[in-house]
Amino acid sequence: MAQTTTTVIQEARARDTVGIFTHMADAAATEVAPGDAAEAALAFLTEMSPDLRGAAILGSDGTVLAAAGDRDRWREDAAVLLAAADGAGPEPIEQVHVATEQGEVFALRHAGLAVVAVTERFALASLLFFDMRSVLRDLAATLAAEGEG
Amino acid sequence: MPPKPHRILLDRVSGYADEAAAYMRRRRISRRPFARLYYPNGRAGDHADDSAVGAELFVAAGRLIEVAGRRPKA
Protein backbone atom coordinates (compact mmCIF):
# COMPACT_ATOMS: atom_id res chain seq x y z
CA MET A 1 0.00 0.00 0.00
CA ALA A 2 1.41 3.36 -0.99
CA GLN A 3 1.93 5.77 1.82
CA THR A 4 2.26 9.54 1.67
CA THR A 5 5.21 10.84 3.61
CA THR A 6 4.55 13.04 6.62
CA THR A 7 6.36 15.97 5.04
CA VAL A 8 4.02 15.98 2.09
CA ILE A 9 0.93 15.82 4.30
CA GLN A 10 2.10 18.81 6.36
CA GLU A 11 2.91 20.77 3.24
CA ALA A 12 -0.59 20.10 1.93
CA ARG A 13 -2.13 21.13 5.26
CA ALA A 14 -0.17 24.37 5.33
CA ARG A 15 -1.09 25.15 1.72
CA ASP A 16 -4.81 24.56 2.27
CA THR A 17 -5.24 26.22 5.66
CA VAL A 18 -3.75 29.51 4.52
CA GLY A 19 -6.90 30.02 2.52
CA ILE A 20 -9.05 29.50 5.61
CA PHE A 21 -7.33 32.23 7.60
CA THR A 22 -7.61 34.82 4.83
CA HIS A 23 -11.40 34.53 5.06
CA MET A 24 -11.50 35.10 8.81
CA ALA A 25 -12.55 38.49 10.19
CA ASP A 26 -9.21 39.22 11.85
CA ALA A 27 -7.31 38.93 8.60
CA ALA A 28 -8.85 42.08 7.21
CA ALA A 29 -8.52 45.44 8.93
CA THR A 30 -12.01 46.43 10.08
CA GLU A 31 -13.15 49.76 11.49
CA VAL A 32 -14.95 49.64 14.80
CA ALA A 33 -17.62 52.19 15.61
CA PRO A 34 -17.36 53.83 19.08
CA GLY A 35 -20.61 52.18 20.14
CA ASP A 36 -19.33 48.76 19.10
CA ALA A 37 -16.08 49.25 20.99
CA ALA A 38 -18.03 50.34 24.07
CA GLU A 39 -20.38 47.36 23.77
CA ALA A 40 -17.37 45.06 23.54
CA ALA A 41 -15.82 46.74 26.59
CA LEU A 42 -19.06 46.34 28.53
CA ALA A 43 -19.31 42.68 27.56
CA PHE A 44 -15.72 42.19 28.70
CA LEU A 45 -16.43 43.87 32.05
CA THR A 46 -19.54 41.74 32.53
CA GLU A 47 -17.58 38.60 31.79
CA MET A 48 -14.79 39.53 34.19
CA SER A 49 -17.05 40.44 37.11
CA PRO A 50 -19.31 37.63 38.31
CA ASP A 51 -21.07 39.89 40.85
CA LEU A 52 -22.10 42.42 38.23
CA ARG A 53 -25.85 42.93 37.72
CA GLY A 54 -25.59 45.66 35.10
CA ALA A 55 -23.42 48.53 33.94
CA ALA A 56 -23.22 51.43 31.54
CA ILE A 57 -20.36 53.24 29.86
CA LEU A 58 -20.79 56.98 29.35
CA GLY A 59 -19.00 59.40 27.07
CA SER A 60 -17.48 62.69 28.17
CA ASP A 61 -20.77 64.52 27.48
CA GLY A 62 -22.84 62.02 29.46
CA THR A 63 -24.19 60.10 26.48
CA VAL A 64 -24.52 56.36 26.93
CA LEU A 65 -22.04 54.50 24.72
CA ALA A 66 -23.15 51.10 26.00
CA ALA A 67 -25.56 49.90 28.64
CA ALA A 68 -27.16 46.75 29.95
CA GLY A 69 -30.83 47.62 29.54
CA ASP A 70 -32.69 50.92 29.26
CA ARG A 71 -30.14 53.48 28.02
CA ASP A 72 -32.24 56.53 28.88
CA ARG A 73 -32.67 55.48 32.48
CA TRP A 74 -29.00 54.65 32.83
CA ARG A 75 -28.12 58.10 31.44
CA GLU A 76 -30.51 59.95 33.76
CA ASP A 77 -29.71 58.04 36.92
CA ALA A 78 -25.96 57.98 36.32
CA ALA A 79 -26.04 61.76 35.75
CA VAL A 80 -27.90 62.23 39.05
CA LEU A 81 -25.38 60.07 40.91
CA LEU A 82 -22.35 61.81 39.44
CA ALA A 83 -23.87 65.26 40.00
CA ALA A 84 -24.62 64.43 43.64
CA ALA A 85 -21.08 63.12 44.09
CA ASP A 86 -19.52 66.16 42.41
CA GLY A 87 -21.61 68.45 44.60
CA ALA A 88 -20.15 66.95 47.75
CA GLY A 89 -16.71 68.50 47.38
CA PRO A 90 -14.74 71.26 45.74
CA GLU A 91 -13.52 69.11 42.84
CA PRO A 92 -15.01 66.44 40.58
CA ILE A 93 -14.86 62.95 42.00
CA GLU A 94 -12.90 60.09 40.47
CA GLN A 95 -14.68 57.12 42.07
CA VAL A 96 -17.97 56.53 43.86
CA HIS A 97 -18.90 53.51 45.96
CA VAL A 98 -22.35 53.32 47.51
CA ALA A 99 -23.26 50.16 49.41
CA THR A 100 -26.92 49.59 50.25
CA GLU A 101 -28.95 46.67 51.52
CA GLN A 102 -30.18 45.97 47.98
CA GLY A 103 -26.84 46.04 46.19
CA GLU A 104 -23.78 48.15 45.55
CA VAL A 105 -23.14 50.92 43.04
CA PHE A 106 -19.74 51.81 41.67
CA ALA A 107 -18.84 54.68 39.37
CA LEU A 108 -15.47 55.60 37.96
CA ARG A 109 -14.20 58.34 35.66
CA HIS A 110 -11.10 57.80 33.58
CA ALA A 111 -9.70 59.32 30.40
CA GLY A 112 -12.81 61.39 29.75
CA LEU A 113 -15.11 58.37 30.01
CA ALA A 114 -17.20 57.08 32.89
CA VAL A 115 -18.52 53.68 33.86
CA VAL A 116 -21.31 53.00 36.33
CA ALA A 117 -21.84 49.47 37.63
CA VAL A 118 -24.33 47.77 39.93
CA THR A 119 -23.31 44.61 41.73
CA GLU A 120 -24.51 42.18 44.33
CA ARG A 121 -23.78 43.03 47.96
CA PHE A 122 -20.24 42.51 49.25
CA ALA A 123 -18.58 42.68 45.86
CA LEU A 124 -14.84 43.19 46.14
CA ALA A 125 -14.53 46.93 45.55
CA SER A 126 -10.83 47.11 44.76
CA LEU A 127 -11.05 44.36 42.14
CA LEU A 128 -14.09 45.91 40.51
CA PHE A 129 -12.51 49.37 40.38
CA PHE A 130 -9.39 47.81 38.86
CA ASP A 131 -11.45 46.04 36.18
CA MET A 132 -13.49 49.17 35.46
CA ARG A 133 -10.36 51.28 35.13
CA SER A 134 -8.64 48.81 32.81
CA VAL A 135 -11.76 48.59 30.62
CA LEU A 136 -11.97 52.38 30.33
CA ARG A 137 -8.26 52.67 29.63
CA ASP A 138 -8.48 50.17 26.78
CA LEU A 139 -11.65 51.74 25.42
CA ALA A 140 -10.11 55.23 25.50
CA ALA A 141 -7.05 53.93 23.63
CA THR A 142 -9.29 52.26 21.02
CA LEU A 143 -11.34 55.40 20.51
CA ALA A 144 -8.21 57.55 20.29
CA ALA A 145 -6.71 55.20 17.70
CA GLU A 146 -9.88 55.38 15.64
CA GLY A 147 -9.84 59.17 15.88
CA GLU A 148 -6.32 59.27 14.50
CA GLY A 149 -7.06 56.74 11.75
CA MET B 1 4.58 10.08 68.26
CA PRO B 2 4.95 13.52 66.57
CA PRO B 3 2.42 14.34 63.85
CA LYS B 4 3.49 13.95 60.25
CA PRO B 5 4.76 17.18 58.66
CA HIS B 6 1.98 17.31 56.04
CA ARG B 7 -0.61 17.13 58.85
CA ILE B 8 0.87 20.25 60.41
CA LEU B 9 0.72 22.05 57.08
CA LEU B 10 -2.88 20.98 56.43
CA ASP B 11 -3.97 22.00 59.93
CA ARG B 12 -2.37 25.40 59.50
CA VAL B 13 -4.03 26.00 56.11
CA SER B 14 -7.40 24.88 57.52
CA GLY B 15 -6.93 27.24 60.45
CA TYR B 16 -6.28 30.21 58.18
CA ALA B 17 -9.29 29.30 56.00
CA ASP B 18 -11.52 29.11 59.09
CA GLU B 19 -10.26 32.50 60.28
CA ALA B 20 -10.93 34.03 56.85
CA ALA B 21 -14.43 32.53 56.70
CA ALA B 22 -15.23 33.87 60.17
CA TYR B 23 -13.94 37.32 59.20
CA MET B 24 -16.13 37.39 56.08
CA ARG B 25 -19.14 36.21 58.12
CA ARG B 26 -18.63 38.96 60.72
CA ARG B 27 -18.17 41.50 57.92
CA ARG B 28 -21.47 40.51 56.29
CA ILE B 29 -23.34 40.77 59.57
CA SER B 30 -21.83 43.99 60.82
CA ARG B 31 -21.46 46.01 57.62
CA ARG B 32 -23.84 48.91 57.31
CA PRO B 33 -24.73 50.90 54.17
CA PHE B 34 -22.22 53.60 53.27
CA ALA B 35 -21.42 56.10 50.54
CA ARG B 36 -17.76 56.77 49.84
CA LEU B 37 -16.29 59.24 47.36
CA TYR B 38 -12.74 59.18 46.07
CA TYR B 39 -10.97 62.21 44.61
CA PRO B 40 -8.13 62.34 42.06
CA ASN B 41 -5.61 63.47 44.71
CA GLY B 42 -6.19 60.26 46.67
CA ARG B 43 -8.48 61.80 49.26
CA ALA B 44 -11.65 59.89 50.15
CA GLY B 45 -14.69 60.88 52.15
CA ASP B 46 -17.60 58.99 53.71
CA HIS B 47 -21.11 60.41 53.77
CA ALA B 48 -23.71 59.15 56.22
CA ASP B 49 -27.17 58.40 54.90
CA ASP B 50 -28.69 61.11 57.14
CA SER B 51 -26.51 63.86 55.59
CA ALA B 52 -27.75 65.86 52.59
CA VAL B 53 -25.12 64.49 50.20
CA GLY B 54 -25.45 60.99 51.56
CA ALA B 55 -29.22 61.00 51.07
CA GLU B 56 -28.82 62.14 47.44
CA LEU B 57 -26.24 59.45 46.79
CA PHE B 58 -28.40 56.71 48.31
CA VAL B 59 -31.45 57.80 46.30
CA ALA B 60 -29.43 57.85 43.07
CA ALA B 61 -27.87 54.49 43.90
CA GLY B 62 -31.29 53.01 44.63
CA ARG B 63 -32.54 54.11 41.23
CA LEU B 64 -29.51 52.60 39.51
CA ILE B 65 -29.99 49.33 41.36
CA GLU B 66 -33.58 49.34 40.15
CA VAL B 67 -32.46 49.93 36.54
CA ALA B 68 -29.92 47.13 36.70
CA GLY B 69 -32.51 44.72 38.07
CA ARG B 70 -31.71 41.34 39.49
CA ARG B 71 -28.85 39.25 38.20
CA PRO B 72 -30.09 36.56 35.83
CA LYS B 73 -29.72 33.08 37.24
CA ALA B 74 -26.85 31.16 35.64
Taking the C-alpha atoms of residue B48 and residue B35, their distance in angstroms, rounded to an integer, is 7
Residue A51 half-sphere exposure, CB side, CA atoms within 13 Å? 18
Q: Kindly report, residue by residue over A72-118, the tens digit of the pLDDT.
A: 999 999 999 999 999 998 899 999 999 998 999 999 999 999 999 99
User: Taking CB atoms and an 8 Å cutoff, what residues of chain B touch A73?
Assistant: 63, 67
Q: Is the pTM higher than 0.95?
A: no
Closest-CA distance, A53 to chain B, in angstroms, reads 5
Does the distance separating the beta carbons of B71 and A52 come in below 8 Å?
Answer: yes
Cα nearest neighbour of B52 on chain A: A88
Cα B32 to its chain centre, rounded Å, is 10
Question: Phi/psi at A95 (nearest 5 deg)?
Answer: -140, 150
Question: Can you say whether residue A62 is alpha, beta or left, with left for phi > 0 and alpha for psi between -120 and 50 degrees?
Answer: left
Return the DSSP state at A108: E
Residue B31's pLDDT is: 75
Taking residues A10-23, report their average pLDDT: 48
A 43-82 near B (Cβ less than 8 A): 51-55, 68-70, 73-74, 77-78, 80-81
